[in-house]
Amino acid sequence: MDVKAPARPDRILRWDGCVNVRDLGGLPLADGGETAYRVVVRADWLPGLSETGRRALVDYGVSLIVDLRPEREDSEDEFEPLPVPVVRQAMDPRPVRAAWEWPSMREAYLALADSYRRSLARALTALGDAEPPAAIHCAGGRDRTGIACGMALWLAGVEPDVIAADHALSDESWAPHNDEWLAEAPDERERERRRRILQPAGRTLAEVLEEIERSDGIRAFLLGAGADERALDRLVARLRGEA
């Protein structure tokens, strides 16, 4: 059965300069209730926010930004520093497999999660240590950000189908820009690579989380990689509206 993630206006954040920003609040919990607002915001490339977008970020109360990009992804263009502290926990796809050339996004997600356990553990620790709300982003706000947010939502008690549906909202956010991105590819090989990346990823993320849960358990996966247990507990309690 397909589950729709709530897409009401207070979840989707229109921060000028980004196209894929939303609050993780308002998602149904398996045991009743819903996730709390203004705990975690997931986003695409926050350094690209306009002045208006940066004001919106500050007005929303964001106290910390977790950036999952490696430094090599920083734009050569000059951007003013973001107006809140930034912690970088890089998940660089290139050393895992050159240029995202995995056969499928499932393999890509598994490879990223396995190779960057410590980055994921530190990212979720940072979210738990921050004064809420905190924001987390990568380049497009879908894949690396989705793995981290999916793990947080799983620990909070959000059902896999709901995590999948929320993750799929990133596909919807980027859909109007996909043709342009494909057209910019320098050759057919790169165009085909980009087509693979653009495959719908909602259900893929849920299946990967289920596989990690069966293998290690997501909580054990993160703690074994160095996540701070108290910070994880705080993050979960806040997402559940219990703190």
The CATH number for 229's domain is 3.90.190.10
State pLDDT tens for residues 112-137.
Answer: 999 999 999 999 999 999 999 999 99
pLDDT, greater one: 200 or 214:
214
Q: Looking at the predicted structure, is the pLDDT value of residue 6 above 60?
A: no
Q: Within a domain: residue 195? A: yes
Specify the pLDDT at position 179. 73
Q: Within a domain: residue 96? A: yes
Element (H, E) at 54: helix 51-59
CA distance 148 to 102: 20
Domain carrying residue 101: 22-239
Which two tokens mark 181? 């991105």
Q: Looking at the predicted structure, is the pLDDT value of residue 200 above 80?
A: no
Specify the pLDDT at position 7. 54
Q: Within a domain: residue 11? A: no
State pLDDT tens for residues 141-198.
Answer: 999 999 999 999 999 999 999 999 999 998 887 677 767 767 787 888 778 777 777 7
Q: Within a domain: residue 135? A: yes
Give the count of domains, the chain. 1
Q: Within a domain: residue 9? A: no
* Cβ–Cβ < 8 Å for 35, 241: yes
143-156 and 202-215 are packed helices; what angle lies between their axes, rounded to 10 degrees?
Answer: 60
Enter the pTM of the model.
0.89
Half-sphere exposure at residue 167, Cβ-oriented, CA atoms within 13 angstroms: 32
Q: Within a domain: residue 1? A: no
Q: Within a domain: residue 14? A: no
CA distance 40 to 64: 10
* Helix residue spans in 67-217 (DSSP H): 93-96, 105-115, 117-129, 143-156, 160-183, 188-197, 202-215
Q: Within a domain: residue 7? A: no
Residue 32 backbone dihedrals phi, psi, to 5 degrees: 105, 155
Q: CB-based contacts of 34: which residues, under 8 Å, 6+ apart?
A: 6, 25, 26, 27, 28, 241
Strand partners, 40: 134
**Which residue bears the tokens 């306009």?**
50
Q: How is the beta sheet containing 134-137 ordered, strand by strand? A: 22-23, 40-43, 134-137, 64-67, 86-88
